[in-house]
Amino acid sequence: MNQFNKEDQPIKLDPLDRVGWLADQPEHFRSWVANNARWRHFAAGEAIYNAGDEPNGMYGLASGALEVTFPLISDEPVTIYRAEPGFWIGEAALMAGATRLVGLSSALDSRVLHIPIGPLRELLEHDPGYWRILYEQSFANLGVALTLLAEALALTPRARIAKLLLRLADGEGRVQGNQDDFGRLIGMTRSSVRRALLNIAEAGFVRTGYRSLEIVDAEALKKISREG
């Protein structure tokens, strides 16, 4: 695990050339990434980096799921976000010249594109205009952080659960996880999560199973997700 692949350069970027930050960048930058990045695979639960580590580049999620944690409590970092494919992270510490503020781990078996810090620094030194591309990604992650904060302050527990389920669902409406997982991801107690899920399930909007559930009525969940 945790090793660079053995592909010859340039590598194929699919699906990250179609979804997320990289997909919105100019063709010349995507070509540069294809010649300098490497695919890596991480098992479920495997750490990619920890808060306090020196930056070693950027990471883009192609498949699986990543969890971002913050060391608010020393013994058990708090999970602040579970990311889906198309998510990128790692630029902030590079831009600030500082150590990592957050930790990153693989929540499921995941395929991740790693852009090493050495080539990134060389690119930025050669052409400072590329800093704007990194700022675009940093701005996007700031938007995610502010959205999560606003949701925690303004939405009902039922609305927060509905939003989480819609975001984590795969293409067939399945969501992997249990009540403890959902509570950890949005900072709610198990009892609050249980009540909210029971309410939604009894209405027929989701179907619960063992460590997973299935969204039956996505439109109904979208309406619930706007409850303040």
C-alpha span between 1 and 39 (Å, rounded): 11
How large a percentage of the chain has pLDDT more than 90? 75
212 secondary structure, DSSP code: E
**CA of 39: how far to CAs of 100, 166, 179, in Å?**
21, 28, 32
Distance from chain centroid for Cα 140:
12
Q: Please report the pLDDT score of residue 8 as a whole number.
A: 59
Average pLDDT value over all residues in the chain: 91
Tens of pLDDT, residues 63-81: 999 999 999 876 678 888 9
Q: What is the pTM of this model?
A: 0.84
- Percentages helix, strand, coil for the chain (3-state, rounded to 5) are 45, 20, 35
Q: Please report the pLDDT score of residue 1 as a whole number.
A: 41
The three-state secondary structure class of 64 is coil
Nearest residue to 60 (alpha-carbon basis) of 11, 26, 97, 110: 110
Q: Please report the pLDDT score of residue 75 as a whole number.
A: 67
Domains in the chain with CATH codes: 21-151 (2.60.120.10), 156-224 (1.10.10.10)
215 secondary structure, DSSP code: E
Q: What is the mean pLDDT of each run of 10 residues along the chain (228 residues)?
A: 52 96 96 97 97 97 95 80 95 95 95 97 95 95 93 91 91 88 86 91 91 92 89
Q: Please report the pLDDT score of residue 210 as a whole number.
A: 85
Q: Please report the pLDDT score of residue 170 as a whole number.
A: 87
**CA of 206: how far to CAs of 98, 151, 216, in Å?**
43, 21, 5
